[in-house]
Amino acid sequence: MDDVNKITASENPFKIVLGNKCDLESKKEVFQTDITFFQEQTGIDIHEISAKESIKINEIFELITKNLITRIQTKNTLLEPTNNVYSLYNEEGESPNNSQKCC
C-alpha cells in the first residue's frame, strides 16, 4: 500500500481491492479469514468479482463513480462561491434556437 500512496496525486486516494474469478470457488486460494484480516488492518474495501461471468462488475463501477462524485462535491463545497454559471438555456429558460450550436 505504501507504493500506491507514493504514486498517487491525491493525499487520500480511494482504494479498493478486487479479487477476480469469484466464479471459481473450488480453486479459491485466499480465504474469508484472510480477507477480513486484511480489511481490518488496512481499512480498504475488498470485493470479489468475476469479469468472465460479470459478477458485481456494475456494482464496482457504481461504487467508484459514487466515491468520485462525493469527493468532487466535497471539494466544491470547500471552494469559494463563484458567479460563473453556464447553461444550455437562455435567460428566459428557453433552449437555444436551431441556428445556435451547442453540445
Q: What is the mean pLDDT of residues 7-23?
A: 82
**What are the DSSP calls for 45-78, one per residue?**
EEEE-BTTTTBSHHHHHHHHHHHHHHHHHHHHHH
**Has residue 62 got a pLDDT over 90?**
yes
- pLDDT band with cut points at 50, 70 and 90 for residue 39: very high
Residue 103: its pLDDT value, please? 45
Average of per-residue pLDDT across 50-66: 92
pLDDT value for 95? 55
Domains identified in the chain and CATH numbers? 2-78 (3.40.50.300)
* Average confidence (pLDDT) over 58-74: 90
Q: What is the pLDDT of residue 97?
A: 55
Is the Cβ–Cβ distance between 19 and 30 less than 8 Å? yes
